[in-house]
């Protein structure tokens, strides 16, 4: 957030200074409405006050309104070109919008004005890593670490950048430094496990993964990586218990929701609403859900039109039935704790010809699933190549597979829903000869 004292509060203006001070206090206390009201009070007196514009931009971004945030923060930087915090916050908002070039320029300006901010160098490195420039990202993380030698996040991110350059030994060392700085750093423990698997050390990988699972028994990446390590060690029975597709993949064919004469009528309306959804983006995968060659509506529930609202109610019913039928099994990462309360994240994928989803897991979920409102006729039972099918069991994220994976392939059907543990590796197989394949995916995340 912006530095008020250095960016626009006039020494003699006690009313403005007091309002800004109270706005910051309200923001820090988790009361954004009160903070916004105070900022707008300042702007009624001084319409171009950069500190008030900056804080309003931060509040807009936190409220999920990146376009408004960008507009406010651009106004702040135009009025106060040397306002470093506003440039940094602008970079964050532009990154939210997918404008990585603009975000990079804003971060660079902020860092030029205040080069001693370790967190800013770290975020610049994360952006560079997203842009595919791992060496430059590693250098940015190195600058962050030089400023803060106990910066666990920067060491973890440095490990990620080094892995991208196949510098596995250095990556392992960076993850160990992150864990030394923060022994409960789940992301670093999981990343260390993955790097050791890549190094061909599955037994060593089990140590950080089991340590993480002792603290977080349902950590998605830890379970997924552990299954790979177990199979690398030939301990297939243990891995099969984790990846029991016969028991833990549910198949449902829900009836049409109330108000729809048939499932076909519901699917037609659902597809129409997806095509005009405000969050639909072409070839954009901001949450790294692995879509290739297609469009993604990244948050269907953010704008609930009638069929989307009906879908939410319908799929919650299927989730509740599936979860109720699951056994309770102490010690199992999926069955040990079924949630009493949960939220849903829902998105849609429209894959074009040759489109597919690379093998992935869903880091945010306990249970994940997919519903198919449209499957092209080229997706057939008699196709030996299984074009357009969904496949479980083959590792992704460039992790090695030095064993023959135990895969389960399912042919999607119109009106079918699949439910499965979020740590299950799954992918879709590319298809040819059809314009598109449409699916609605969802994650259940625990609210306890």
306 and 323 co-located in one domain: yes
With respect to residue 189, please indicate whether it lies within any of the assigned structural domains: yes
Which DSSP category does 53 fall into? H
Q: What is the DSSP string of 233-281?
A: TT-HHHHHHHT-HHHH-EEE-PPPPTT-SSHHHHHHHHHHHHHT-TTEE
| 3 state DSSP class of 68 | helix
255 and 355 co-located in one domain: yes
Check which CATH number belongs to the domain holding 199 and give it.
Answer: 1.25.40
With respect to residue 336, please indicate whether it lies within any of the assigned structural domains: yes
* Rounded-to-integer distance, Cα 395 and Cα 277, Å: 32
What pLDDT, on the 0 to 100 scale, is given for residue 284? 52
Which is it for the CA torsion 359, 364, 370, 376, positive or negative?
Answer: negative
209 and 309 co-located in one domain: no
Which DSSP category does 3 fall into? -
* Rounded-to-integer distance, Cα 68 and Cα 63, Å: 10
What pLDDT, on the 0 to 100 scale, is given for residue 33? 96
302 and 255 co-located in one domain: yes
267 and 212 co-located in one domain: no
From first to last of its 448 residues, the chain has per-residue pLDDT tens of: 444 334 444 434 558 889 999 999 999 999 999 999 999 999 998 999 999 999 999 999 999 899 999 999 999 999 999 999 999 999 999 999 889 999 999 999 999 999 999 999 999 999 999 999 999 999 999 999 999 999 999 999 999 999 999 999 999 999 999 999 999 999 999 999 999 999 999 999 999 999 999 999 999 999 999 999 999 999 999 999 999 999 999 999 999 999 999 999 999 999 999 999 999 987 555 444 455 568 899 999 999 999 999 999 999 999 999 999 999 999 999 999 889 899 999 999 998 877 778 999 999 899 999 999 999 999 999 999 999 999 999 999 989 888 999 999 999 999 999 999 999 999 999 998 888 999 999 999 998 6
With respect to residue 29, please indicate whether it lies within any of the assigned structural domains: yes
Burial environment of residue 121 by CB neighbours within 10 A (0 to 12, 13 to 18, 19 or more): buried
What pLDDT, on the 0 to 100 scale, is given for residue 285? 52
What pLDDT, on the 0 to 100 scale, is given for residue 35? 95
Q: What is the CA radius of gyration of the chain?
A: 24
270 and 407 co-located in one domain: yes
The domain tally of the chain equals 3
HSE-up (13 A, CA, CB side) for residue 143: 18
What pLDDT, on the 0 to 100 scale, is given for residue 9? 41
The contacts found for 334-337 with CB under 8 angstroms, 24 or more apart, are 334/218, 334/223, 334/242, 334/248, 334/366, 334/421, 334/423, 336/217, 336/218, 337/217, 337/218, 337/446
Enclosing domain of residue 360: 247-446
What pLDDT, on the 0 to 100 scale, is given for residue 180? 98
Which DSSP category does 31 fall into? -
Check which CATH number belongs to the domain holding 67 and give it.
Answer: 1.25.40.10
With respect to residue 113, please indicate whether it lies within any of the assigned structural domains: yes
What pLDDT, on the 0 to 100 scale, is given for residue 447? 86
| 3 state DSSP class of 114 | coil
């Amino acid at each position: 957030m912006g530095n008020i004292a250095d960016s626009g509060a006039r020494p003699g203006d006690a009313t403005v200074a007091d309002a800004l001070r109270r706005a910051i206090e309200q923001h820090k206390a988790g009361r954004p409405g009160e903070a916004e009201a105070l900022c707008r009070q300042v702007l009624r007196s001084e319409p171009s006050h950069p500190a008030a514009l900056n804080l309003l931009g931060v509040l807009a971004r936190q409220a999920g309104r990146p376009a408004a945030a960008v507009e406010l923060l651009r106004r702040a930087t135009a009025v106060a070109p040397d306002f470093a915090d506003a440039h940094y916050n602008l970079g964050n908002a532009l990154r939210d919008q997918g404008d990585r070039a603009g975000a990079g320029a804003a971060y660079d300006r902020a860092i030029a004005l205040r080069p001693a901010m370790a967190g800013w160098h770290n975020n610049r490195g994360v952006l560079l890593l997203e842009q595919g420039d791992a060496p430059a990202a590693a250098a940015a993380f190195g600058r962050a670490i030089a400023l803060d030698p106990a910066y666990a996040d920067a060491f973890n991110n440095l490990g990620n950048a080094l892995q991208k350059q196949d510098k596995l030994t250095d990556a392992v060392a960076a993850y160990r430094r992150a864990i030394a700085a923060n022994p409960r750093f789940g992301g670093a423990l999981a990343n260390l496990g993955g790097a050791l698997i890549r190094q061909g050390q599955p037994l060593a990988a089990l140590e950080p993964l089991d340590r993480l699972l002792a603290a977080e028994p349902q950590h998605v990446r830890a379970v997924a990586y552990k299954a790979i390590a177990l199979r690398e060690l030939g301990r297939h029975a243990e891995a099969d218990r984790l990846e029991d597709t016969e028991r833990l993949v549910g198949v449902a064919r829900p009836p049409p929701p109330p108000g729809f004469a048939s499932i076909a009528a519901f699917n037609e309306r659902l597809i129409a609403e997806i095509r005009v959804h405000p969050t639909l983006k072409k070839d954009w995968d901001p949450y790294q859900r692995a879509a290739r060659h297609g469009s993604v509506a990244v948050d269907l529930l953010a704008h609930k039109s009638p069929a989307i609202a009906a879908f939410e109610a319908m799929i919650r019913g299927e989730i509740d039935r599936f979860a109720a039928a699951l056994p309770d099994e102490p010690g199992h990462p999926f069955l040990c704790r079924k949630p009493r309360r949960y939220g849903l994240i829902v998105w849609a994928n429209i894959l074009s010809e040759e489109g597919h989803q690379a093998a992935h897991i869903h880091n945010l979920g306990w249970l994940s699933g997919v519903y198919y409102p449209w499957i092209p006729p080229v997706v057939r039972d008699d196709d030996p190549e299984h074009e357009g099918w969904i496949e479980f069991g083959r590792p992704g994220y460039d992790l090695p597979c030095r064993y023959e994976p135990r895969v389960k392939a399912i042919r999607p059907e119109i009106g079918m829903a699949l439910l499965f543990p979020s740590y299950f590796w799954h992918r879709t197989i590319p298809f040819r000869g059809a314009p598109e394949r449409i699916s609605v995916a969802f994650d259940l995340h625990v609210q306890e």
